[in-house]
Amino acid sequence: GAGVSQSPSNKVTEKGKDVELRCDPISGHTALYWYRQRLGQGLEFLIYFQGNSAPDKSGLPSDRFSAERTGESVSTLTIQRTQQEDSAVYLCASSLLWNTGELFFGEGSRLTVL
Amino acid sequence: KQEVTQIPAALSVPEGENLVLNCSFTDSAIYNLQWFRQDPGKGLTSLLLIQSSQREQTSGRLNASLDKSSGRSTLYIAASQPGDSATYLCAVKSAGGTSYGKLTFGQGTILTVHP
């Protein structure tokens, strides 16, 4: 596609349920990033991929969070046993080159945990 | 650990004014610096990308400079318009240590341009 695509755009779930958020990067982009943005706050780094390997997982908040990427394509962020503090917008970005490339962001997935 | 600071946190100006947003970072081992804008409830839109070997980039009314050795960047907006109202974010991509390739964001500057 022309841009980074994220789905779902909105997700409301009950505390304790698992959720999956999907990111389709721009075709051919080798690097893919996940960020979290809580209401009124800045961007919090979660994880990034070079190809399908993740050199830096340091931002994942807890072991309830995991992410995977298939080749240099789609990535899935999974949150298990969701908590109310997981409510946020989850933003995905991709770039052609992992080091010098320009990042392009999707519109985000808004997660609300009741 | 890379830290990025943006000053001011908020700025309100009348239409037509020229303005400068500031960004500073603590670790000069970077690949590049990127400026974004974010409109309420939206994702981030890339404005300008400056590679570590470059000093400035221009796009329309926007000009961004980079002084890597001092850890500073500025975004200059000429002849501001109400449509420029948004949150402006700068981000640096680390080239050193265990954070190579990681993009670190500042907290942003909320810009309001009133008619």
Given an 8 Å threshold on Cβ–Cβ distance, is A99 in contact with B95?
Answer: yes
Q: Count CB neighbours of A80 within 10 A.
A: 14
User: Nearest residue on chain B to A110, judged by CA atoms?
Assistant: B41
Using alpha carbons, select from B62, B103, B100 the residue that is nearest to residue B80: B62
Residue B109, chain A, CB below 8 Å: the answer is: no
DSSP string, B58-87: EETTEEEEEETTTTEEEEEE-S--GGG-EE
Q: B34–A106: do the CB atoms touch at under 8 Å?
A: no
Q: Select, from the ranges A62-76, B63-77, B97-111, the one with the highest average predicted confidence (pLDDT).
A: B63-77
pLDDT for res B1? 85
User: pLDDT band for position B98 (50/70/90)?
Assistant: low
Give residue A33's pLDDT.
Answer: 94
The 10s digit of each residue's pLDDT in B24-56 is 999 999 999 999 999 988 889 999 999 999 999
The residues pairing with B77 across neighbouring beta strands, listed in sequence order, are: B19, B62
Within 8 A of B99 by CB-CB distance, chain A residues are 56
So what's the pLDDT on residue B75?
A: 98
Contact criterion met (CB below 8 Å) for A113 and A15:
yes
Asked if A96 is an interface residue toward chain B (Cβ–Cβ < 8 A), one would say no
Taking only the tens of pLDDT, chain A with its 114 residues reads: 589 999 999 999 999 999 999 999 999 999 999 999 999 888 999 999 988 888 788 889 999 999 999 877 999 999 999 999 999 999 999 999 888 889 999 999 999 999
The pLDDT score that the predictor gives to residue A55 is 79
Instruction: Report the C-alpha dihedral over residues A54, A26, B29, B103, rounded to 10 degrees.
Output: -70
Please give the pLDDT value at position B107. 95
pLDDT of residue A1: 53
Chain A residue whose CA is closest to B94: A99
CB contact under 8 A, A103 and B98: no
| Cross-chain CB nearest to B104 (options A45, A50, A106) | A45
Percentage of residues in chain B with pLDDT exceeding 70? 97
Amino acid at B20: V
pLDDT confidence of B102, banded at 50, 70, 90?
Answer: confident
Does residue A21 belong to the interface with chain B, where contact is any CB pair within 8 Å? no
Residue B90 pLDDT greater than 80, yes or no: yes
